[in-house]
Structure 1
């Protein structure tokens, strides 16, 4: 029987950790909080299973700022920073402004960035391609497809986080080709997305809804999470979906019977989630705190 981590449980886990600038735990089933290491608005954590490392995207400024200073960090599973700026938008030959969602397809790391999707080589971080999505304003969530492509969401936001009306979901190929899956300004600011065997599951930041898009393009309502401000979305091997919520400051789990439980709470602005499939952990960037929290599930 799996027990959800409630506020009390999560708080006790963090209290068990020391309060050094970087709080670490051993490779057991303990919470790990990585703080004061140089993260700058971390938005996503992606597990690279082949390299057994965590990759953290850092906006490092405004979410819509074309400032060339976004970066991606390499983090070890024990919480130690391997390389803070493994990929750095300030370097020549790199375009990276405000990186958000990240996904791994084969030997490539895909990253959303305002109105572009970047492709980097996992082996050395070299940038292979930048794909501009015309008409997009806030590319955000991303999930691998069943081939050499990804699906990405446009959360439809503009300066000042005002609605831009560009809410959409795109399918993007490594060749640079892309197509619109759905574009609807009433979608509710789509954010996290998951390719569930050809069915796309989406959570929204604005309306706090969860829905699916079937292969015919039909939208199907799914159970509504307890709170809104939905950001990250991943699916576990046991069939549960994990959803991060800014409104609830929590991670919710949706099981196969459509029941929600709270995996963890008291998390300030939990963003795009990752899953360490080797150690059974959920990887949580805290957008406003410049921290990454690693929790066993």
Structure 2
């Protein structure tokens, strides 16, 4: 491991250290085709990986979902295909929901069949999905600067406030919806009942994925520069790892708490797992 390096910024990011608490666990076979998002299904002990497999925002039907074991072995490369530009995913009661440009696709995880499609005529780029414990589904429209909500089988605009600035990664907590803004480099929490909001942190480029890190806070990815950060409950940032020098993109991440595994789709041909050491 590298020695701790201290870097000072004049921007909103405070002093950052390269953490020694992360080590590479495995790298998958190079069979994925623009893997964008990872989601863990604890009931099946399997990861779902969305593959764009084509040009961004192209309605080409080339996109697909893979199943990946937690040891890095690909179980099924094309488990569900026929999608266009699959991005973020959410899981609720054996139903997998996938953001796919201007629609949300509902997949039965038992049968691998598409059961329902929620079309959003005005959506520009549906990006990430998070689902509450009661089954409410939140979807970010990155280019449309909106958050949609699916409840009772219907999809409607839930938020379009001025602080939305290319919203990407989403995460539901007990009370709030956490939103990562790519353009303004900020993260906000919106109360799901009152819709009152407050800023959590700022100053990270290309914000993409956000996952819970238990009592330690959150882990977020700065996609295009290949960075992963921990964010504590006070909004303080710490750089876990910087993969930019290796030209590795850190897209929509997943964290498997029981295994301390951080799953990183690279938007290239592989998925990488890192083990976090406590």
Common fold, TM-score beyond 0.5? yes
SS class of match (1:63): coil
Asked whether the 8 Å contact 2:224–2:250 carries over to 1, the reply is no
Given candidates 237, 256, 260, the residue that maps to 1:276 is: 256
Aligned equivalents of 1:254, 1:196: Cα separation in 2: 15
Q: Within 5 Å, which residues of 2 pair with 1:5-84? A: 13=23, 30-36=24-30, 38-84=31-77
SS class of match (1:278): helix
SS class of match (2:258): coil
Q: Decide whether aligned partners of structure 1 residues 183 and 72 sit closer, same or farther in structure 2, where only a CA change above 3 A counts.
A: same
CA-atom RMSD, angstroms?
Answer: 2.3
1:136 counterpart residue number? 123
The count of corresponding residues between Structure 1 and Structure 2 is: 259
1:127 counterpart residue number? 114
1:25 counterpart residue number? none
What TM-score does the superposition give when structure 1 sets the normalisation length?
A: 0.81
User: Runs in 1 of length 4+ with deviation above 6 angstroms?
Assistant: none
Asked whether the 8 Å contact 1:286–1:292 carries over to 2, the reply is yes
1:224 counterpart residue number? 202
Aligned equivalents of 1:146, 1:48: Cα separation in 2: 15
1:236 counterpart residue number? 213
2:81 counterpart residue number? 88
SS class of match (2:202): coil
Asked whether the 8 Å contact 2:261–2:274 carries over to 1, the reply is yes
Asked whether the 8 Å contact 1:41–1:59 carries over to 2, the reply is yes
Aligned equivalents of 1:8, 1:152: Cα separation in 2: 32
SS class of match (1:178): strand
Given candidates 249, 257, 264, the residue that maps to 2:241 is: 264
Q: How many angstroms does 1:42 deviate by?
A: 0.6
Q: Unaligned 5+ residue runs, structure 1?
A: 14-29, 90-95, 157-165
Aligned equivalents of 1:224, 1:79: Cα separation in 2: 33
1:168 counterpart residue number? 146
Q: What are the Cα deviations for residues 3-38 of structure 1, in whole angstroms up to 9, with x where unaligned? A: x99769599x5xxxxxxxxxxxxxxxx5211141x2
Aligned equivalents of 1:294, 1:34: Cα separation in 2: 8
Q: What are the Cα deviations for residues 70-119 of structure 1, in whole angstroms up to 9, with x where unaligned? A: 00111111111111001111xxxxxx111000111111111000000011
What TM-score does the superposition give when structure 2 sets the normalisation length?
A: 0.86
SS class of match (2:214): coil
SS class of match (1:222): strand
Q: What are the Cα deviations for residues 21-75 of structure 1, in whole angstroms up to 9, with x where unaligned? A: xxxxxxxxx5211141x21111101111011011100011122111111001111
Higher strand share: 2
Q: Unaligned 5+ residue runs, structure 2?
A: 6-16
